[in-house]
Structure 1
Amino acid sequence: MTVSNVKSNVTTYLNYINGEWVPSHANEKQGSVNPANKEEVVAYVQKSNEEDVNQAASAARKAQVQWRKLSGATRGDYLFKVANELEKRIDKIAKIMTKEMGKTLPEAKGETARGVAILRYYAGEGMRKVGDVIPSTDNEALMFTTRVPLGVVGVITPWNFPVAIPIWKMAPALIFGNTVMLKPAQETASTAAEVIKCFAEAGLPAGVVNMVTGPGSVIGQGIINHPDISGITFTGSDQVGKVVGQGALARGAKYQLEMGGKNPVIVAEDADLDLAVDATISGGLRSTGQKCTATSRVIVQSSVYEIFKEKLLSKVKQLKIGDGLREETWMGPCASENQLNNVLSYIQQGKKEGATLLCGGNKHEEEELENGFYVQPTVFENVTSSMVIAQEEIFGPVLVLIKVETVEEALDVANDVKFGLSASIFTTNINKMLSFIQEMDAGLVRINAESAGVELQAPFGGMKQSSSHSREQGQAAIEFFTSIKTVFVKS
């Protein structure tokens, strides 16, 4: 929604470049629409151009010269201050996130609190070791390794976690001596701007953190092509991720891609079915299914299939759909009209392929929901692994049920996709657990827990086309955001 007449009572957010809030060189703004009420403009953000990218990259490059010279402890002190600023603003930022993206307010508060925890975790990383002493064949020499920052890191983030994902990329980049240029998703750019305010208030030196908002085709591509940006960390679709990777590779920049999944849950015949049902609903439908680790395929052994299905449908039909700011709401709208239409198109594809629609399948038409991007929680059965709805990432509240005879067959079906991000199994049998751990092609496997669960202190990333095979979060983050330097000293 590009606008020319800006409403005076709606906040307009600027770009943040070299320690200042500045308008874009294009002098264009874009409205961010409330997905719960498409008539409401939440805020206006800058629709920037390549000149803004150049300005931010230049500021980051200059700032990195001094930022990298600071001790890890000093950089950590800055991150602690950012965490404190973010903690003060949890309620405000969560409310903006809910109005801008649609997830429920409790989920938005939880995500913002997680951002605080991530900042404090990486603040502490400034005091950890960054190298090893290695024996030299020369007994008069000292040889060791250290780590050095990449330089300027371009951070390209999606709309589904507008606080947590930017922070889990920016915090390790900064603690290891890099400077940052953030390009948030345009749909949630005002939430990102509120996060950047916390960095500004914490007093980070000018140019260390920069934010430029605008379309991916311009700002994202500008980051990919810019010679001053040494590393790019991206979360988004696999189609766009491949463009990022190819562009970075062409000019020798380091890149890190997290590109979604088609995550299965296996329900074995010995599973606690009530636990499995609750976890499937939570993992698949919370945040309106708009998580890269969301449960999408539910693979159930035939001996318990009917009982599981009955329990699942009973609970899905009771879910309260509505505005995420309302206390009684369990699931909010899709994040945008484009996302709603995308989900509805997959539902139509499932019907066309011959899958049986058990519930949902339509846009909500109730009077109180008609102005929002609401889709009914949807469940299909009689789904085969070759169907599009069993192969492609829908990124919406759609579950497909697949019946199998054995856990071995379930594992074959679970692995029969191009993605490999997360997966879970429900079983009380230790042998089935071990087989699942060993044979499941996913970067994150969970036993008797929903697929959509990531802990900040643990490495996160996927296999196959879910990632570029690097890992984010935890201590593994140092591998991407630094390079190893080997030092040989002889007296």
Structure 2
Amino acid sequence: MSEVYYNYVDGDWVESETGDTFEVVNPADTTDVIGGFQRSSSDDATAAVEAAADAADEWADVPGTERGSILTEAARHMADRTDELTETLTREEGKTLTEAGAEVQRAVDIFEYYGQKAVDFGGEVKQPGSRDANLYTVEEPMGVAGLVTPWNYPVAIPAWKSAPALATGNTVVLKPANGAPNVFRKVVECLDEAGIPDGVVNYLTGPGSDVGGTIVDHDDVDVVSFTGSRSVGEMIHEQAGANQKRVQTEMGSKNTTVVMPSADLEEAAEIVGAGAFGVTGQACTGTERVAVHQDVHDEFLEELIAYADGLEIGPGLEDPDMGPHFDRDHLEGTLEYVERGRDADGTLAYGGEALEGGEYDDGHFVEPTIFTDVDSDAAIMQEEIFGPFVGVMSATDFEEAVELVNDVEFGLSTSIVTRDHAEANRFRDAVDFGIVKINEKTTGLQYYVPFGGMNASSSETFREQGDAAIDFYTITKTVYENYGRR
């Protein structure tokens, strides 16, 4: 019998009113049951929102220094439990220990960063238009923040949504993805140990339609932040916007790296390979397309195949180069795209097979996959696959390469590998993507600068992370004070 874990509502660990649970398993070994989690209902979500609303005014009145101290203390508890959090993340999501450890450290850094930001949080003083007067702004929290987060970064994304919300005086209701809820549940334990007041943080698991839908729709929720699929994100944006809530959605993408003749091709293959096959390709910033100048296409392809062939694939707890797919559906989805690539007359240059036998039998393992000779408008080059899958295209010149980058509906992260600085600057200006990288993989982000996409990747309302997150969770009052008038 696996252990059963509870929701955290109004300062207590509580069972769902449904009495039902669901199991979470290790994607590398589905016989390894992580535990049972609450199959919460709309009523459970309503109780969590009401608890957050009841605590909102008091938490907003807590001085920023005190709020910051709690976040910093929570970060210390997280750091003390780094090994535990890392193993938990690997077991439930599938990342390698190295990848999971980096994500846990990022979550620690985020809480520390916003712990300091809470101290600096305030407004601006401006010159008044008359004597004996003051003119200034104050920043106030929005109120209750409803946060809906995905499975692929199950501690970093909840951290970068909840920490700035808390730092600025908002209360939080957070629904993690059902497939990987345990690692952030342990972060909530750290917040509880750090002294977060009752009702300020609320965490509950369950169906998105019941729990997530109630959070988005509830009148007491003032601001909604979502990361996940495009279809759900667009629905949430429409729902929340219709109710006059402030909303932020980050959805999928189809990201291209450009390789120019001046590039070191072995280095370029490492950049593309890490962006395409790192975290098993399960990142919205992952590289799924490559536009290579025709003069170096064949040599680059050889280098990329050699990179893929050198990857060790296995259970994340063994810390290989690449772990399993998150679940059976995602594995089958990748394999289906392999067949669609063949149907589109593409050339399967490497991989494309599920791995079986021995330690692979109870997990969701697949080879890294490389296609070439595929048109940009083919399904495998337009639809987000979310797996270790990349298509390599040939470009006659720089201008065509940029056209290929922009030849998708999305616009989250793109990069170019070149030694030509002017070429890099032209690329930066010409692409319609929220994140532009020069001689770097499309994945991997700093937590203190804005993050967000363009076009179908994002609602394009507010950015996440850095000071941009402070802006999202606050509203400005402008104060005119005339103290000379009697």
Whether 1:131 aligns to 2:120 is no
Structure 1 residue aligned with 2:135? 143
One-letter amino acid of the counterpart of residue 106, structure 2: R
1:197-225 deviations in Å (ceiling 9; x for gaps) = 11111111001000010011111111111
Instruction: Tell whether 2:423 aligns with 1:432.
Output: yes
1:197 maps to 2:186: no
Correspondence for 2:475 = 483
**Equivalent residue for 1:250?**
242
Q: Please tell me whether the aligned partners of residues 121 and 168 of structure 2 are also in contact (alpha carbons under 8 angstroms).
A: no
Aligned counterparts of 1:132 and 1:34: Cα–Cα separation in 2 = 49
CA RMSD across the alignment: 1.1
**Residue of structure 2 equivalent to 1:298:** 290
Q: Measure, in 1, the Cα distance between the counterparts of 2:217 and 2:54.
A: 18
Distance (Å, rounded) in 2 between the aligned partners of 1:170 and 1:183: 11
**Helix, strand or coil at the partner of 1:127:** helix
Q: How many angstroms does 1:129 deviate by?
A: 4.7
- Letter paired with 1:449: E
Q: Indicate the residue corresponding to 2:372 in structure 1.
A: 381
Q: 1:367: Cα distance to partner?
A: 2.8
Q: Give the 5 Å matches for 1:324-339.
A: 324-327=316-319, 329-339=320-330
Which of 84, 89, 97 in structure 1 is aligned with 2:81? Answer: 89
Partner in structure 2 of residue 452 of structure 1:
443
1:105-184 superposed matches below 5 A: 105-184=97-176
Give me the TM-score of the superposition, normalised by structure 2.
0.98
Aligned pairs, how many?
Answer: 482
1:156-187, Cα deviation, whole Å (9 max, x unpaired): 00001111110011000000000000100000
Shift of 1:137: 3.3
The farther-off stretch of 361-370 and 448-457 is: 361-370
- 8 Å contact kept, 1:44–1:190: no
Query: What is the identity, as a one-letter code, of the residue corresponding to 2:60?
Result: R
Counterpart amino acid of residue 446 in structure 2: E
Q: Is the 8 A contact 2:292 2:394 kept in 1?
A: yes
State whether residues 255 and 411 of structure 2, in contact with CA within 8 Å, keep that contact through their aligned partners in structure 1. yes
Partner deviation per Cα, 1:30-71 (whole Å, 9 max, x = no partner): 000111112221111111001110110011111111110011
* Residue 403 (structure 2) aligns with: 412
| Structure 1: distance between partners of 2:75 and 2:356 | 41
Instruction: Establish whether residue 265 from structure 1 lines up as the match of residue 257 from structure 2.
Output: yes
CA distance in 2, matches of 1:196, 1:176: 18
Q: Secondary structure at the match of 1:303?
A: coil
| Whole-angstrom CA distance in 1 between matches of 2:123 and 2:354 | 55
Aligned AA for 2:259? V
- Corresponding residue for residue 103 of structure 1: 95
The question of whether the paired residues in 2 share the 8 Å contact of 1:82 and 1:199 is answered with yes
* Aligned counterpart in structure 2 of residue 371 of structure 1, from 355, 362, 386: 362
Unaligned runs of at least 5 residues, structure 1: 1-6
1:343 positional shift: 1.6
Query: Aligned to 1:321, which of 313, 324, 336?
Result: 313
Secondary structure of the structure 2 residue equivalent to 1:338:
helix
Q: Residue 120 of structure 1 aligns to a residue in which SS?
A: helix
Match of 2:459 in 1: 468
AA aligned to 1:139 is R
* Structure 1 counterpart of 2:351, from 345, 360, 364: 360
SS at match of 1:187: coil
CA distance in 2, matches of 1:367, 1:298: 34
Structure 2 unaligned spans of 5+ = none
Paired-residue identity, %: 41
Q: Does 1:311 align with 2:318?
A: no
- Aligned twin of 1:3: none
AA at the equivalent of 2:472 = F
In the TM superposition, what is the alpha-carbon distance from 1:418 to its structure 2 partner? Answer: 0.8
C-alpha distance in structure 2 between counterparts of 1:148 and 1:321, whole Å: 49
| Candidates 335, 341, 350, aligned match of 2:332 | 341
Cα-to-partner distance string for 1:66-123 (whole Å, 9 max, x where unaligned): 1100111110000011001101111111111111110101111111111111111111
String of CA shifts for 1:347-384, please: whole Å, max 9, x gaps. 22211111111111121123320211111110000111
